[in-house]
Structure 1
Amino acid sequence: MSRHDGPGGGSAELQRPKLVPLHGVPMPDIFLENWEAVEKFQADPQDLLIATYPKAGTTWVQEIVDFILQDGDADRCRRAPMDSRIPFLEFSCKGFHPPGTELLAKMPSPKVIKTHLPFQLLPKSFLDQDCKMIYCARNAKDILVSYFHFDSMNKLQPEPGTWEEYFHKFLQGNVSYGLWHDHVKGWWEQKDKHPILYIFYEDIKEDPRREIVKVMRFLGKALPDTVVDGIVQHTSFQSMKENPMSNYTSVPAIVFDQTVSTFMRKGEVGDWKNHFTAAQDKAFEADYVRRMKGCHLRFRTELQGGQ
């Protein structure tokens, strides 16, 4: 099902996917075309999985991990765009880009792999092989805003509608990968049963060096302070936004229309305040309390002292 071949091999408008339930989790229908290969994916014990709910700092953590594994060598980290360096496991869009499973099949281990899958949909081999996993969580208010802008520019996501419509879709879990609440809780509940490092976007923003060192130790690496300082600099939001190997400008405009919104937009904590109305904030808070009842996870929706 090619979605971008026009007459004579030219480009036509991409047809946005529809959401379909996969074991109760809403997913873009295009991803289901390759689901059997995802489910059967065989991880190696040395493989590392980076997992997030969408727009929770995925690319940031990927870049940090790659810099650590490449001993802080910026040139090596510019060897290819992010989606080639760290393939997206469940991604599938025939006629546009090879599925994540195909890219991974050609890579030697140890591999670093990206996923947005909730824990219950994770291929069994990651658990059987006792693979290390890093899960990065971000507060839901900022994710909602970021996800709306992302879905507006990304033609491989369902049509977002208006901000007001999207706000309600998100609260109902009627977006790709379902409810944020279930996703963060699902991984949180498993973090002590498997080798999972559970980190927070807000913590990286507050003190990137501290969190980079935490990731480095989890990966069993020891790098000199000067190298760590370089990693902090190279993985800053501004550096990544200007780096074509991490800012996704290599993705064709028919897929990512970055005139609508840039892939790397603001990277702030608290941007939700520029979007939420008072009524939306009240509705969000009431829904949040209900869905997170009994969960000890705590999120910060702003940082002291601003950005």
Structure 2
Amino acid sequence: MKPNYTLHKDFRLPMGFPPEAFDSGLAYQAQAEDTFIVTYPKSGTTWTQHIIWMLHYDGQPLPVGKNINLEVPHLEEIGGEFVNSLPKPRFIKTHLTYNLTPYHPQAKYIYVARNPFDCAVSLYYHTKGFIKHYDFAEGTFDDFFECFITGEVDFGDYFDHLISWIHHKNDENVLFLTYESMKNNPKAAIVSMAKFLGSNYVRKIENMQILENILEHTSFKRMSLDQSRWSSERPSDMTPFIRKGEVGDWKSHFSVSQAQQLAQKFKTMTKNTEAATLWELPELI
């Protein structure tokens, strides 16, 4: 059993994503004031969106009744016209590879990478939960793993995405973070983002109340409440959009064979790149 997608120009899009919005998103002309939040799906995207939103709004959390994907919109889901209608500075979410992401030398790009093992598990539950997008409610992890390992999932192969961005890890206008480092030290991650965004944001987090408020409201515990802010409604019997947020949850899902397959693909695809040392594979398998 495989998830269903809308096939558009060699992309697997979630059903319900308008192809014309995808095209419009790719055609968007990046602006100097733009900040792009870039991830492979299920790599800490919503968490990072909320941190950036709270930094911009002086430590105030996204109110119930608002949706983060209208405040920090998903470019290829909602289209370039919508993004163009937003006031500057614009904060924009994307799952595009480097070569497809709209570029401006003065725009900023925050990339968050998550180890492929936990990413695969999180994307599996995401795919099961959105019936209207994937029609995969009855799918098993074994079914999904075969799609993930071959790149037959939305937005394509995990490694193609990671490698396209790792080559730009040290670019002046790129902040490259890992999900695991953010979990290990969320305060340091917030400080790094503020410094990357500029002196106005650094001044904000010099106010300890603002910094502590961001830490509190972007914690897993707080973000797991009022989940309508992060996603469209899911059936009550499905796992929630904000599910666990753990590092290492993959160990309760992978067989030994699956772990070996993904570890081998990781070694092959990341060879001679900085991605090869992002995570300690012996600890993963």
Aligning the two structures, in what range does the TM-score lie when normalised by the shorter sequence?
A: 0.7 to 0.9
Tell me, yes or no, if structure 1 residue 86 matches structure 2 residue 72: yes
TM-score (norm 2): 0.87
AA paired with 1:43?
A: A
AA paired with 2:83?
A: L
Deviations 1:194-215 (A, max 9, x none): 5010111101100111111111
More helix by share: 2
Partner Cα distance (2:118, 2:80) in 1 = 30
Q: Secondary structure, in 3 states, of the residue corresponding to 2:110?
A: strand
Aligned residue pair count = 271
- Residue correspondence of structure 1 range 202-221 to structure 2 within 5 A: 202-220=180-198, 221=201
AA paired with 1:80?
A: K
Q: After alignment, is 290-299 or 274-283 more displaced? A: 290-299
Map of 2:125 onto structure 1: 149
Map of 2:210 onto structure 1: 227
Of residues 90, 95, 101, the one that matches 1:116 is 95
Q: Quote the offset at 1:106 in angstroms.
A: 2.5
Structure 1 residues 90 and 247: alpha-carbon distance in aligned structure 2, compared to 1, 3 A threshold = closer
- Residue correspondence of structure 1 range 1-307 to structure 2 within 5 A: 18-20=5-7, 22=9, 25-28=11-14, 30-74=17-61, 78=64, 80-91=66-77, 99-123=78-102, 127-128=103-104, 130-160=106-136, 161-193=139-171, 195-220=173-198, 221-222=201-202, 223=205, 224-244=207-227, 246-248=229-231, 251-252=232-233, 256-297=234-275, 298-300=277-279
| Contact 1:141–1:301 under 8 Å retained in 2 | no
Task: Name structure 1 gaps, 5 residues minimum.
Answer: 1-15, 92-98
Structure 1 residues 150 and 44: alpha-carbon distance in aligned structure 2, compared to 1, 3 A threshold = same
TM-score (norm 1): 0.81
Partner Cα distance (2:265, 2:39) in 1 = 21
AA paired with 1:227?
A: I
| Contact 2:150–2:157 under 8 Å retained in 1 | yes
Deviations 1:260-292 (A, max 9, x none): 211000000000001011221122222222222
Q: Secondary structure, in 3 states, of the residue corresponding to 1:157?
A: helix
Q: Secondary structure, in 3 states, of the residue corresponding to 2:155?
A: coil
| Contact 2:69–2:230 under 8 Å retained in 1 | no
Structure 1 residues 110 and 78: alpha-carbon distance in aligned structure 2, compared to 1, 3 A threshold = farther
Q: After alignment, is 152-161 or 78-87 more displaced? A: 152-161
Partner Cα distance (2:24, 2:247) in 1 = 37
Task: Give the superposed CA RMSD.
Answer: 2.3
| Contact 1:19–1:158 under 8 Å retained in 2 | no
Q: Secondary structure, in 3 states, of the residue corresponding to 1:33?
A: helix
Structure 1 residues 260 and 77: alpha-carbon distance in aligned structure 2, compared to 1, 3 A threshold = closer
| Contact 1:48–1:111 under 8 Å retained in 2 | yes
Partner Cα distance (1:142, 1:212) in 2 = 22
Task: Name structure 2 gaps, 5 residues minimum.
Answer: none
Q: After alignment, is 162-171 or 103-112 more displaced? A: 103-112
Partner Cα distance (2:237, 2:25) in 1 = 32
Structure 1 residues 41 and 191: alpha-carbon distance in aligned structure 2, compared to 1, 3 A threshold = same
Structure 1 residues 79 and 132: alpha-carbon distance in aligned structure 2, compared to 1, 3 A threshold = farther
AA paired with 2:71?
A: R
Identity %: 30
